[in-house]
Every structure is written in C-alpha cells, then in structure tokens.
Structure 1
C-alpha cells in the first residue's frame, strides 16, 4: 500500500490555496509555521472584529478600541499552539476573546451594570431586521434611491447611538447574537453564563433598542 500524500508545506502552499482554506485550517497552518496563513486570517476578519470591539466599547471608550483590537490579536497569536478546531469555530473563539477583553475595559471604567437574569418570552426580530436593512442599503447591487439611502444612513447612525446607550452586557449579547450569529445556547456556553441569563440580556436589550428606534421602525411598518 502506498503512503498517504503529505499535506503541502508552508512554502509550497499557494496564495489561492490559502484564500480557499476555512478559518480553522488557516489557524492550524499558522501554528505549524505558515505565517502567510495568519495574514489571510487577519485580512478576512480585521474589519468585522474591529467593528465588534468598537460597538461593544461604545462612544465613551472609543479611543481604546484600537488597543483592545490589537490585544485581541496578540491573544490569538499567543494561543496558536493550543487552538483546537473542535467545538466553537475560529470566528466564535476569536470574538469571545475580543468580548472578554472589551468587558474587562468596561468593568475598569465602571460602566458594567448588573442585569436581571429572568426572561421567558421569545424575542422578535424588528431591530435585527432594521440592522440588516441598514447594511443592505449600502450594497451597490440594491440600487437604493437617494431618499431610501438617506433614510438608511440616518437609521444606521441612530442604531449605533442606541447600541451605545445599552448596558455593556446587553450590548455584547446583542452583537454576538445578531452580528456574529451565535445562538442563545452558544452564547451561554462561550460566555459561561446561564441560558436564561443570555435570554434576559437579549430580551431587555431588544426592548430598549425597539423603544430607541421607534420612529424608524414605525416607518418600516408603514411601508410593509
């Protein structure tokens, strides 16, 4: 029986091969000495991870976003030898690191608040739908009118302001759930908190966002 083919070395791996690799495999390749694999990983998630950190810290700590963002990548680099693709995806793992570092900054600043851990009702989708609309209107393929573009830009600015007004833990739960796509179960597991606590943060965060975005949501309801 012939030997199984060996995986290509870092030197033999082409740029197109790296571009096609999933995040977990890129991290493993980097851990085995392929520095270019890290460059692909960084380029792929730089924007999303920075936006997450910036939104989580809010306007008052915006000046610290760069530092928390860089600290996140330092932690990722430091953990390269211990990273395992089993369990959470690389993106979830990385965003959890960013979440923990940002929350540490918020605690030091005194902005963290205690939250009620009881919720039973399912959450609606009004504010996440608005968030998708804000991003979708910026897509050139959507060809929005000047009026629609102005509406979505104003709604986007308002949504960021409303997010900044949320307690830090509610804002983090909202961003991880609706922007990074974590389920309630995954959130509870990654943040090491109870399922009902996560539901509570999402529920009350959405209630506050809906109240804050009421004017824009009413316009969408009229258009429906």
Structure 2
C-alpha cells in the first residue's frame, strides 16, 4: 500500500518497531516505505474497528472503502504531517472520523442532539472493558462467564449503532481510542462543552440500552 519507492535505510526492523508513530510518519515522508509498513501493521486493526463501529450495521458494507480512503489520505498528507500538533494516532483517527461522518451525512442518518443530564457515569465504558477483557486468555473465564460477556458485547455493538453519529463517534474516540475531552474538541474543531454533551447524552442512552447487563454486574459487585 506504500506510495513511495522503498529507499535505502540504515534502520533495521527492530529499530523501526520501537519508533514512535510520529517518527515513523516522518521517516516515511522522507522515503522510508518500510516505516509506513510498521505504522499500518500497528494501527490497521484499531482503525478498521473504529470505522466499522462508527458507520454502524447499516453502512457496514462501506467500512472497507472508508478504511482504505483513510489510508490514502494519510499517504497523500505524508509531507504535510507535523508532530507538533496532535499525535499521529489522533490525527489518523480524526481523518477516519471525518470520512465516516461524510458517509453518514450522505446516508441521512444523522440525528439532532437533545438536552443532556449532568451525570458523567462510567457504567458503559466499564462494561466495554469487561467485554474485551473477559475474552483474554489470561482471564480464564468460565463457559458461563464467557457466554455472558459475548452476549453483552453483541448488545453493546447494537446499542452503539442506535446512537446518533456524533455521540457514537465521541464515545468511540474517548473510551476506545483514549482521546481526552480536550483532544476531542481540538481534533473535531468543536467546543469543549459540545464534546461533553455528546459524551454525557450518549452514555445515558447506552446505560439505558445495556440496563439488563449492568444490573447483573451491580449484583456481582
């Protein structure tokens, strides 16, 4: 997928693997195509998962195309990338976000946001971490626990798909990719309070949608 010819480099594979994302992008811009290969391998899974979840079930068939378009944009912008702004990961996920949101706008699926409560509860992100953590081999879950978490994971994806696009994007970027509220506001070029509104209202909807599974966790606590 590299757009530049592979240039001679003194860096070997282990050295590239240890390089931060920003340095890899700068090396790629200078002609080191192998640096891009490392970047792609490092972020391929997370970026595709983000795009697919953001597009939702109804536009899932377009996930591959948006994913590829994201990398084309990244390649095209290699010479203008500056590590002085957002991190490479934030920059790349913002590109993916903008492309996915364009698809959602064209599809007419965006929904206006309503007023939101002041509660900042963390119940659903906690459940999301549990869904992913329980399937880790190191956790050694029982068959019953594994079935519960798999069912909860399917339900969480369905609940995410029911959120308005802006709320779903804020949730995924904040709780899955780890962007702070400040970083979200800067990357998406929207106000701090607007980001907080999307996160709060989205969490309220997710908690209601996941009530059955959250009640089980509360009883186990």
**TM-score between the two structures when normalised by the length of structure 1:** 0.93
Q: Secondary structure at the match of 2:183?
A: helix
Q: CA deviation at 1:46?
A: 0.3
Superposed CA offset, 1:141-183 (max 9, x none): 1111111111000000000000000010100000001001111
State the partner residue of 1:205: 202
Relative to 1, partners in 2 of residues 1:5 and 1:64: Cα closer, same or farther, differing over 3 Å? closer
Task: Give the superposition deviation at 1:116.
Answer: 3.8
Match of 1:114 among 112, 115, 124: 112
Larger Rg computed on CA atoms: 1
CA deviation vs aligned residue, 1:114-162 (integer Å, no higher than 9, x gap):
22476xx251110000000000011101111111111000000000000
User: What TM-score, normalized to structure 2?
Assistant: 0.94
Q: How does 1:178-189 map to 2 (within 5 A)?
A: 178-189=175-186
- Structure 1: 4+ residue segments shifted above 6 A: 1-8
Deviations 1:57-86 (A, max 9, x none): 000000000000000000000000000111
Distance 1:109 1:179 in 2: 25
Q: 1:3 corresponds to which residue?
A: 3
- 2:6–2:31: 8 Å Cα contact kept in structure 1? no
Structure 1 residues 81 and 153: CA distance shift in structure 2, 3 A: same
- For 1:14 and 1:112, how far apart are their aligned partners in 2? 46
CA gap 1:4/1:207 in 2 versus in 1, 3 angstroms: closer
Length, aligned pairs only: 220
Q: What is the RMSD computed on CA atoms of the aligned residues? A: 5.2
- 2:66·2:96 contact (CA, 8 Å) conserved in 1? yes
Q: Is the 8 A contact 2:160 2:168 kept in 1?
A: yes
Give the Cα–Cα distance (whole angstroms) in 1 for the partners of residues 213 and 74 of structure 2: 39
How much has 1:37 moved relative to structure 2? 0.5
Asked if the contact 2:6–2:34 (Cα under 8 Å) also holds between the matched residues in 1, the reply is no
Check the 8 A contact 1:176/1:187 in 2, yes or no.
Answer: yes
Give the distance between the partners of 2:45 and 2:4, measured in 1 at CA: 39
Unaligned runs of 5+ in 2: none
Pick one of 19, 22, 26 that aligns with 1:21.
19
Q: Give how far 1:4 is off.
A: 28
Residues 2 and 95 of structure 1: CA distance in aligned 2, closer, same or farther (over 3 Å): closer
